[in-house]
Homo-oligomer: A and B are copies of this chain.
Amino acid sequence: MLKNIDLTREIAKPEYKRLKSEADLKLAALQRQSKTLGIPIIVVFEGWSASGKGTMINQMILPLDPRGFNVYSSRDPTNEDAFYPFLRRFWNRTPTRGRLAIFDRSWNRRVVADRVRGLVTGKQLQQAFDDIRSFERQLCDEGVVIVKCFLHISKSEQKRRFDALRKNPATAWRVTKEDLWQHRRYSEYLRAAEEMLTETDADYAPWTVVEAHDRRFATLKIFGTVINALERAVAKAEQKIEAPAPRPYEPIAAENIFKTTALEHVDLSKSVTPDDYAARLKKAQTALRELEHEIYLRRVPVVIAYEGWDAAGKGGNIRRLTQNLDPRGYEVVSVAAPNDIEKAHHYLWRFWAQMPKAGHITIFDRTWYGRVLVERVEGFCTETQWRRAYREINGMEQHLVHFGAVVLKFWLHIDPEEQLRRFREREGMPHKQWKITEEDWRNREKIEQYREAVEEMLHRTSTPFAPWTIVESNCKRYARVKVLETVCQALRKRVG
């Protein structure tokens, strides 16, 4: 969930001031409502040293009624804590009805910091994930609202902040040895954080990754996240029924400017010259043919999933991928709307039936991600269902990986202008007219909703075991070569 994160997001000061003062009022009002309704709330701050957790917490408590919250700073466990199971001190601090508990770092330390330091290994780590999931689920089942924020900064940004702190004698003490240790092991921490986010992201207690380079941006994103979670909880408590479609807090959330994006800054100008293309295509196709043989011998199953905008070029891309392969070793599955029999089953059922056997490659032209794309946008499933689907899909892909599969997922990305150009071109050429339908035009009208769904999908289902690759596809040649080379690289890594 940290891959592809755009950390350059920022917001200007006047805009910030306006939005912040509105958000302050809103948050204070929600705190009072939660108190009246007896809703207990937990807000967890995790993230890098110097990512600004303290500042954020200060911002957050300013508008609140100080009688209604507690802030818990959980650094290293005390000597006393070490005599108890690690969750005990957090159980002790769970809020009573109507109160808010804010955690500066939390139980997740066990699966990140303690893990990187080698204090928690192997079976203990799996047990800790189990324990944490069970803990959060139990609280949510009893009505606790859990908001989890992970403040993300890059290694170089962390260095910049440490340097600034150390230059000033008044703040130098704030950079501890442990902080510097973390900085040196940034990539190890990153892997651990990524796994923590994947293992403990859930519909009942989702993670929000906060791009924390710009403090104004981070503050507003956190406010928006907390406000939205509380609005849902208040609506649910007032109506005693399933939460209705979210009523996002307009000033911040509706504009979507704080949503995590992987697509905003994709460089769609990337391209390959025809000559380069021919050479690289041939080289990669030859390599892939050999790798196909290799994975057959080693009985490795390979799943390749294609998703992307209409007219992004999936068909042509798949054709180049398979052009030189032995047809006995792969299969292309084209996924359309489910038929009546498929509709009578769990939505994942039809995909299970088509997964590759060991040693074979299955290429999906559109996939199970329809659940969180078209089904979400068109209302073919409920909000509860698509929110749950992220975890279900991650579960399915994890099961495949447990079995030894390689799972690769490609999002073929083009911009709206390029899409329009291709639609028009298709209409103008008789032999391509079949490729463009009324539905394509209709989808285009909902482009903003689709984009929101795509962003959330790329975010919540990019896992260490099955990552998404975003493929810049305005230049079809570039896209074809990138997919082929990515597949080759992944298979080469797998066969060692």
Category for how many chain A residues contact B: 35 or more
Establish whether residues B358 and A96, one from each chain, have CB atoms under 8 Å apart when the complex forms: no
* 18 other A-B residue contacts (CB within 8 Å) besides A85-B403, A96-B344, A142-B347: A83-B357, A84-B355, A85-B399, A87-B352, A88-B352, A88-B353, A92-B352, A92-B353, A94-B349, A97-B345, A98-B344, A122-B123, A134-B392, A134-B395, A134-B399, A141-B392, A142-B346, A144-B346
List 21 A–B pairs whose Cβ atoms lie within 8 Å, in order of A's numbering.
A83-B299, A84-B357, A85-B399, A85-B405, A87-B352, A91-B352, A92-B349, A92-B352, A92-B353, A94-B345, A96-B341, A98-B344, A123-B123, A126-B126, A131-B395, A134-B395, A134-B399, A138-B346, A138-B348, A138-B392, A138-B395
The interface bits of chain A over 353-394 (1 if a CB of B lies within 8 angstroms of the residue's CB, else 0) are 101011100000000000000000000000001001000100
A255 contacts chain B at the CB level, 8 A cutoff: no
Closest to A88 in B: B352
Most buried by B among A344, A346, A353, A357: A346
A86 contacts chain B at the CB level, 8 A cutoff: yes
Question: Complex formed: what's the CA distance from A94 to B342 in Å?
Answer: 11
Task: Provide the residues of chain B in CB contact with A352, threshold 8 Å.
Answer: 87-88, 91-92
Establish whether residues B388 and A80, one from each chain, have CB atoms under 8 Å apart when the complex forms: no
Partner of A353, one of B91, B138, B345: B91
Q: Which 10 A-B pairs have the closest CB atoms?
A: A91-B352, A83-B357, A96-B344, A85-B403, A134-B395, A83-B358, A97-B344, A127-B402, A131-B399, A142-B346
Establish whether residues A88 and B402, one from each chain, have CB atoms under 8 Å apart when the complex forms: no
Establish whether residues A85 and B142, one from each chain, have CB atoms under 8 Å apart when the complex forms: no
Establish whether residues A83 and B359, one from each chain, have CB atoms under 8 Å apart when the complex forms: yes
A175 contacts chain B at the CB level, 8 A cutoff: no
Residues of A that sit less than 8 Å from B by CB: 38, 80, 82-88, 91-92, 94, 96-98, 122-124, 126-127, 130-131, 134, 138-139, 141-142, 144, 299, 301, 341, 344-349, 352-353, 355, 357-359, 385, 388, 392, 395, 398-400, 402-403, 405
